[in-house]
A and B are shown apart, each in its own frame.
Chain A
């Protein structure tokens, strides 16, 4: 089984091809260029390097959100265009789940934090059982950092933080977190399409996929205009 993974949810652009238990290739950049200029050229280079026949793909796994709205859409539209052309289904992988999956086998709680602006983080809580089972302790969400900090403290368990929100919330972490904590290192602490593809393969094997036409990003947030309209109507 061959799965293409795509992640454009943050600053990182990443594409990967996972076949059964092998990572055939991965190309990840954390550079300021827009995903419109990185994702497809990277996929092109990777495909050439590993002589990928796109028609052999079983599914396309995409980090479906949350994340940068525009980045999510570039990744999703890329996945949808490929899916439409290849007749391939799409597996929507929650972005935060995929980041947590980077730390497979960790014996601490795993807490990815992505900067969601307006004082909030996109986050969730995860752990791995002794048998390697990936467990979602708290599903991905958009919350104030204090809220996730409170939940972590209540577990009393050590935690590993990762994600692009770490540098933004370093002060908050040292101020609010009362359990032992640590930070994942550079090679693991951002989005990896190989994690998206590997998790996507698990979902796909469980029949959890959709036609490319039906796929859409999961923003976890309304647009500003919708939010303001609802607030106004709520007050009226």
Chain B
């Protein structure tokens, strides 16, 4: 293979961040622009799809232009245009997809549709230049909880996934129930610092017919029942203890599943990804677990854990090398499965 640098403009608009980035050879991030809508959605206690879509179209050109400016490059310098086409909110995805297609069409560049979760996993390549498949990756975010064996670039085997709520979704719902507000992840983590993680014994959720699958809806119900029960008895709950105990149960569950897969598949490398992966308590627990198992642990910086386009550029590079090209009829697929084309 020649030594030419492959420069990719990547666009991400699957939920409530409008993002664009320029990435060279999948690992060297030249720019990573994220326009967040979180303050807007906070008014509603969660992401409102129609508002998210409206915001994306207002911001998208500025975000892309900023990404090119920050990289000190123009569209002419790009080798391909990449975009998240699923999974996510369909209206939100469509803005990025239509925009990316038009740019690729007008500039005559190849178009590469990228799976959002593959992007999250690939975020690990950016700061860990030596990381190569195979490795095990736990993707935990507001919309996703996946335990994935990355067999090779672009080759993913899903070992487990959530049967109901995503881990981040459970954080949001519990945060709302104890009055901490949105977004729940950071709020719970902060409150948990003041609490005792072993104060309340919540049962670790188990899925009987899938050892690696997750179920966080039941845990969320346990927490809600605990809160309701206390209220019925006229007792005041210790919010910090509830937050800490809930968080600990989620972390224990995630660690347990990851450890099991590391053993069964003889993995030597383990990575985490997704918004919840920036939770420091979760990271500390994973570091400890990996140390015990003698496994190398990888994680992206918080800015690369949240939804961003640099990770899409990283994933797109390996798709580019594999010859993947999409047509002008590329559509947004809100429930796109990992490894599906």
Contacts and interface: CB of A to CB of B under 8 A. Distances in A.
Interface of A: 34, 36-41, 43-44, 54, 69-70, 73-86, 212-213, 216-217, 219, 223-226, 229
Contacts of A34: 331
Contacts of B64: 84
A223 B41 CA distance: 13
A40 B56 CA distance: 20
A44 B61 contact: no
Interface stretch (B98-106, B194-202, B213-221, B233-241): B98-106
Interface in B293-341: 327-332
B102 A69 contact: no
- The prevalent SS among residues of A at the interface is helix
B62 interface: yes
Nearest to B55: A216
Interface in B87-143: 90-91, 94-103, 105-107
Nearest to A57: B106
A73 B95 CA distance: 6
B106 A216 contact: no
B64 to A, nearest CB: 6
Nearest to A33: B329
A40 B57 contact: no
B65 interface: yes
Nearest to A221: B50
Contact of B101 (A81, A225, A229): A81
A225 B44 contact: yes
B58 interface: yes
B95 to A, nearest CB: 5
A218 to B, nearest CB: 11
* 4 closest A-B pairs by CB: A81-B102, A85-B106, A77-B98, A213-B61
Given A36-B332, A70-B91, A74-B98, A80 B61 contact: yes
- The prevalent SS among residues of B at the interface is helix
B102 A77 contact: yes
Nearest to A45: B328
B60 interface: yes
Interface of B: 43-44, 48, 50-51, 53-54, 56-58, 60-62, 64-65, 75, 90-91, 94-103, 105-107, 327-332
Given A37-B329, A223-B50, A225-B44, A80 B58 contact: no
Looking at B54, B62, B96, the one whose CB has the most chain A CB atoms below 10 A away is B54
A222 B50 CA distance: 9
Contact of A82 (B43, B90, B105): B105
Given A84-B61, A85-B75, A78 B328 contact: no
Contacts of A225: 44, 48, 50-51
B51 A223 contact: yes
Contact of B102 (A37, A41, A80, A223): A80
29 contacts: A36-B94, A36-B329, A36-B330, A36-B332, A37-B331, A38-B329, A40-B98, A40-B102, A40-B328, A43-B105, A54-B106, A73-B54, A73-B56, A73-B57, A74-B98, A77-B57, A77-B102, A78-B102, A80-B99, A80-B102, A85-B106, A216-B54, A216-B57, A216-B58, A219-B54, A223-B51, A224-B50, A225-B50, A229-B44
B43 A81 contact: no
Nearest to B100: A81
A230 to B, nearest CB: 11
Nearest to B64: A84
Nearest to B109: A85
B10 to A, nearest CB: 14
Nearest to B41: A225
A226 B40 CA distance: 11
Contacts of B94: 36, 70, 73-74, 77
Nearest to A40: B328
Nearest to A212: B61
A80 B59 CA distance: 11
Nearest to B332: A36
A34 B331 CA distance: 8
A226 B51 contact: yes
Contacts of A79: 102
B331 A82 contact: no
Contact of A70 (B44, B51, B53, B61): B53
Contacts of B90: 70
A212 B90 CA distance: 23
Nearest to B330: A36
Contacts of A223: 48, 50-51, 54
A75 B48 CA distance: 21
Given A36-B94, A73-B94, A81 B99 contact: yes
Nearest to A81: B102
A164 B20 CA distance: 37
B44 A36 contact: no
Contact of A229 (B43, B99, B103): B43
A86 B98 CA distance: 16
Looking at B95, B100, B106, B107, the one whose CB has the most chain A CB atoms below 10 A away is B106
A44 B111 CA distance: 14
B87 to A, nearest CB: 15
